Amino acid sequence: MSASVLFDVPGPRARLRHRLLAVVGVAVVGALVGYVVYRLYDSGQFEPRMWEWIQYETIQLELLDKLGNTLKAFALGAVLALVFGAVFAAGRLSDHAFWRVPATVVVEFFRAIPLLIMMFFFYYGLPTAGIKFSPFTAVVLSLMLYNGSVLAEIFRAGVLSLPRGQTEAAYALGMRKTQVMVLVLLPQALRAMLPTIVSQLVVLLKDTALGFIITYEELLYYARFLGTQGQFGRPLVPLTIAVAAMYITMCLLLTWLATYLEKRNRRNKKVVAEPDGKVDDLVLTSGV
């Protein structure tokens, strides 16, 4: 039986036990899901009258419009959060205390405040001081500050995780610190950080749903409104299922895009071999 420092490879009996536990776990989860579906069916949530709302063109257009609002808040919030994270990560990595200390304070402060409290502060709190933001602006600012602070820590950790020899070799070639960061460290760190960055962007996408609390008209806001309409039988559960399917689809597409970019980035490094089988050269092709 082979072993590593932190993990012993399981033997035949252990593998059998793991398989049995996996089967039991899947069966329990399946039973719970089946019970929930049965209860929804038994309460009439899958009856045709509860889904009649989806046949109306006006409702379909409104759902698409609210989906557009969700994507608009996500897109702008994601771009601003990435920029915010990159800037403050650079500040935290600075050798100068007058850059490093303020950047650390800002990142730790906004990372510690719940996102919903920030939305409440921007939309309900600042108007008492004469500063008024629209729901869209309050949502985007909150997404930028909270997720940008988390991304700043992700960027900083990614850069610090690289071998120190990379930095020393770049300095030995006469590069300045900015050149070392931009040309040597960041390209390598981004490849390692990509899965974590995508996970945080997925969180940001789902966090846009909190905007309905401050009256931002996104998917959840419209689903809550339509789900209370008596003329459609108050189809709150069917609307929740439909909106959840939209969010799941968007998250899966975002994950697929990240996987595609990662695979394309790997293909950018191609080894060109001569006919006799010897490696001739290492050609780096740009995928941009």
Render each residue's pLDDT in the chain as its tens digit; 288 residues: 444 455 567 778 888 888 899 999 999 999 999 999 898 888 888 888 888 888 888 888 999 999 999 999 999 999 999 999 988 988 888 888 888 899 999 999 999 999 999 999 999 999 988 899 999 999 999 999 999 999 999 988 888 887 877 777 887 888 877 777 777 777 777 777 888 888 899 999 999 999 999 989 998 888 888 888 877 778 888 888 889 999 999 999 988 887 887 777 666 655 434 444 444 443 333 333
Instruction: Please report whether residue 278 resides in a domain.
Output: no
pLDDT value at position 6?
54
Torsional sign, CA 265, 85, 133, 222: positive
How many structural domains are present in the chain? 1
Q: Is 93 helix (H, G, I), strand (E, B) or coil?
A: coil
Instruction: Please report whether residue 46 resides in a domain.
Output: no
pLDDT value at position 269?
54
Instruction: Give the span between the Cα atoms of 272 and 282, in whole angstroms.
Output: 6
Q: How many CA atoms lie within 13 A of 186 on its CB side?
A: 13
Instruction: Please report whether residue 12 resides in a domain.
Output: no
pLDDT value at position 272?
39
Instruction: Give the span between the Cα atoms of 14 and 46, in whole angstroms.
Output: 43
Can you tell me which residue has the tokens 């050609």?
Answer: 283
Residue 261 makes CB contacts below 8 A (sequence gap 6+) with 194
Full residue range of the structural domain in which residue 167 is found:
59-263
pLDDT value at position 29?
94
Instruction: Please report whether residue 218 resides in a domain.
Output: yes
The one-letter amino acid code at 282 reads L
pLDDT value at position 91?
87
- Average pLDDT, rounded, for the chain: 83
pLDDT value at position 23?
93
Instruction: Please report whether residue 45 resides in a domain.
Output: no
pLDDT value at position 138?
94
Instruction: Please report whether residue 135 resides in a domain.
Output: yes
Instruction: Give the span between the Cα atoms of 41 and 244, in whole angstroms.
Output: 18
pLDDT value at position 284?
39
Residue 107: which CATH number?
A: 1.10.3720.10
pTM greater than 0.85: no
Instruction: Please report whether residue 13 resides in a domain.
Output: no
Instruction: Please report whether residue 30 resides in a domain.
Output: no
The one-letter amino acid code at 3 reads A
Instruction: Give the span between the Cα atoms of 63 and 227, in whole angstroms.
Output: 13
